[in-house]
Structure 1
């Protein structure tokens, strides 16, 4: 493409460097805009020309009784004067004197003032004045004969004759063709050339035959056209080279399209979307993406009616990727692009974004996500598949300060390993017991050990056990069995010592304040609130219930003792509730 642009640069510079050509194109447009014709060949009544000359040139045919106003009507400020005069006419009936100089005005003079407004409508005079200026400025483009014809038409004091309309239609038609030809030459590029069977024939077709434009035979127009034709002649000498480069570029585009088509259809198939895309070339040479259901040859015209929000979002992500590849930015930011998708679609999108031949692989990408699944894929399960190896960090906001903590493969642990590690390392038994109960939930262990832990956290002095829909007091043997199960993990466990702690608000509040992990704070808060009538924030209650039970967590996760997985605003709500309890 660069080689093609270099070959075309000379002719493009002709338009860029010579403002006269650009002005000529604009002026040709003004001609066709001012004199508009209907399908029957008559000048449109709504056109500027018709409004200005329908009754002839009123500036050349000033009525005898208004002749003393001639200097004002023909001056450069005639429109402003006429507006001023029209407004002033409203004050004539206040007094028999001029509202400007207070000179006495006879009734006959008043009629004359009113006659000006009746004869010369402001908008009509504005069209007439502007068109006379336009034709004056266009004299340098027209042939001598055409200038004489236009002068005759525009100075005529009667309405336009059919023969005049025919001449004007010829002028407009030639102006439009010449303008369109100049614009085609100005905009010559690969898109125009690739549709030609022969570049040489296409260049010959662009040459302008001055003899075809009988109304534009001035020396100025001839010089412009000769200059442009010379540039086209120069380009013709390089036509072979240009043709070769155009063919190479066409092949590259076809190859790129086929590659993108294959990649996108592969993504759609792997994500489970029952659609395929194809690239269809439009008349102007642009390739547009068309979407087809797998079972149909009819393309989808209205995407919003056929695709779900998720499907549209998936397409948007992949198309954004291709746009980023094209634009080559220094940094690409993806803000939580895949959280709303199910698992197989999530990985299909990640794979398309970072592993394909045409993907964001090797580029600087910052992807934010609330979802842990892509972290598992990128940093744990399939880390070897992503090159270069991505850096994964956990961002936490504490007291309005953002902190990054690296996530290594060794930080992603099974739930069992995390809870066992925390039971071993923590100092307070209540915190250890929280993780032990979680461990039993992971193992789906509903033994006496689990029943005893549940009774403790529900502040039951006499431990109970759930049988189907009912609960009953645990027997001494069951309690002993449960204690022994807990002591395997916490050797100094004593149910009644720990019971005294959980029923003591003071003890729990102290432990809450000493604890560093937000996750543990949340669990202590729940124990503290057990049995208390409290109209808690619904979001807070939902969050507590979900984090306290394992069924909502992933099999592999981050250790909540190291990573603050609980949002700060939740802890602030807990702090507020605890502050209220302190008052009593």
Structure 2
């Protein structure tokens, strides 16, 4: 097959012969026009792309209206060019050896079966987390107990609500001396409300009269006892203490027997926490945070 090329890039005119069913090698110095010849042959049937090979010297001034041309003794139907573009597209991509190598080498029948099994497991996990009342309750209780304690570089923070609630011991179970008469109120389910009511009553009405604002009996000889309630009990502390005791009870089945026993002891101490108790609460806090993180990751799985 004889080929004539003219007005293509740096080639004014060139001719070459290609033998069928043979390896035809054309070699020349760099810049001689080998790539231009290849492009011209590739664009044999595409005048628009062939026009891109217009020489620079003819782009500004072309009085004779020369244009890139290629003539072949035989019709060329299809051309594939093994050039740098081909290499970049198919053979040596930046992140894989051949195009679509994942599907060729990895996505086997075993891979597909394993992938489907993983999708099934993920789907089961997602269904487990959907409308699961027990699991939602567990997460809520863990969040409540975990948020009651804060960790610092030196250990558990004494400023956290949980530590404040336990710092002076369980005064619901261990009622201070002289206040035993208030036991029914202190241990009632509405003890926080009673403490608030009693404290406000002393603060707002004790200066008005020595009479009880509720029954009007003389309270002068009981004034010290009445005022002691607000000195020993703070409604916020008691509220937090009750909350911790209740949430630990709700989580009872999820704690080991040893953990339940130690937590029961900590929440019923008469005189507050010691270092060993703080360390144990710190470890519980860490475990809760870790568990909540893992549960959160499972809830966000996508199948």
TM-score band w.r.t. shorter chain = 0.5 to 0.7
TM-aligned CA deviation for residue 10 of structure 1: 2.4
Query: Is the CA contact 1:48–1:127 (under 8 Å) kept in the aligned structure 2?
Result: yes
Counterpart in 1 of 2:215? Answer: 101
In 1, the alpha carbon distance for the partners of 2:176 and 2:133 equals: 43
Which whole-Å CA distance do the structure 1 matches of 2:131 and 2:197 have between them?
44
On the 8 A contact 2:141/2:251 being kept in 1, the answer is yes
CA distance in 1, matches of 2:266, 2:287: 18
Deviation track 1:106-141 (CA, whole Å, cap 9, x = no partner) reads x22111111111111221222112212221212121
CA RMSD of aligned residues (A): 2.1
> What are the within-5 Å matches in structure 2 for residues 230-245 of structure 1?
none
Residues 144-155 of structure 1 mapped to structure 2, 5 A cutoff: 144-155=257-268
1:124-143 alignment to 2 at 5 Å? Answer: 124-143=237-256
The 5 A counterparts of 1:206-355 are none
Paired position in structure 2 for 1:60: 173
Number of the residue aligned with 2:300: 187
Distance in 2, matches of 1:116 and 1:131, equals 22
Deviation readout 1:505-528 (Å, 9 max, x if unpaired): xxxxxxxxxxxxxxxxxxxxxxxx
Q: Contact between 2:145 and 2:244, CA under 8 Å: does it hold in 1?
A: no
For residues 60 and 141 of structure 1, the distance between their equivalents in structure 2, rounded to whole angstroms, comes to 25
Judge conservation of contact 1:5–1:189 (CA < 8 Å) in 2.
no
Distance in structure 1 (CA, Å) of the matches to 2:179 and 2:144: 33
Q: CA deviation at 1:6?
A: 6.9
For each residue in 1:537-563, what CA deviation from the matched residue of structure 2 results, as whole angstroms up to 9, or x when unmatched?
A: xxxxxxxxxxxxxxxxxxxxxxxxxxx
C-alpha deviations, 1:15-57, integer Å up to 9, x for none? 114221222222222222112221111x212211111111111
Classify the secondary structure of the residue corresponding to 1:100. coil
Match of 1:24 among 134, 138, 159: 138
Offset from partner CA, 1:338-366 (integer Å, 9 cap, x none): xxxxxxxxxxxxxxxxxxxxxxxxxxxxx
Superposition TM-score, scaled by structure 1 size: 0.30
| Corresponding residue for residue 121 of structure 1 | 234
Change (3 A) 1:146 1:108: same
Asked if the contact 1:37–1:44 (Cα under 8 Å) also holds between the matched residues in 2, the reply is yes
For residue 128 of structure 2, the aligned residue among 14, 23, 32 is 14
The correspondence for 2:151, drawn from 30, 37, 52, is 37
Alignment partners' CA distance in 1, 2:125 and 2:210: 69
Q: Hey, what's the Cα distance between the residues in 2 that align with 1:96 and 1:18?
A: 57
Instruction: Report the Cα offset of residue 98 of structure 1.
Output: 1.1
Q: TM-score, with normalisation over the residues of structure 2? A: 0.57
Equivalent-residue separation in structure 2 for 1:144 and 1:22 (angstroms): 23
The one of 154, 157, 177 equivalent to 2:270 is 157
Could you tell me which residue of structure 2 aligns to residue 111 of structure 1?
Answer: 224
* TM-aligned CA deviation for residue 4 of structure 1: 11
Q: Distance in 2 between matches of 1:38 and 1:110?
A: 42
2 CA distance for matches of 1:148 and 1:88?
39
Q: Helix, strand or coil: the match of 2:239?
A: helix
1:79 aligns with 2:181: no
SS at match of 1:176: helix
CA distance in 2 between partners of 1:50 and 1:173 (Å): 15
Separation (CA, whole Å) in 1 of partners of 2:142 and 2:209: 51
- Gapped regions of structure 1 (runs ≥ 5): 191-584
The 1-side partners of 2:221 and 2:200 are apart by 19
Matches within 5 A, 1:356-375: none
Query: How far apart in 2 are the matches of 1:44 and 1:176?
Result: 15
Matches within 5 A, 1:472-491: none
Cα distance between partner residues in 2 of 1:187 and 1:5: 15
- Confirm or deny: 8 A CA contact 2:171 2:270 kept in the other structure: yes
Which is helix-richer, 1 or 2?
Answer: 1
Cα distance, 1:5 vs structure 2: 11
- 4+ aligned runs moved over 3 Å, structure 1: 3-8
The one of 155, 160, 182 aligned to 1:69: 182
Rounded Cα–Cα distance in structure 1 between residues aligned with 2:237 and 2:136: 30
Distance 1:120 1:170 in 2: 29
State the alpha-carbon separation in 2 of the partners of residues 84 and 49 from structure 1: 24
Structure 2 unpaired stretches of 5+: 1-115
SS at match of 1:108: helix
1:174 correspondence with 2:287:
yes
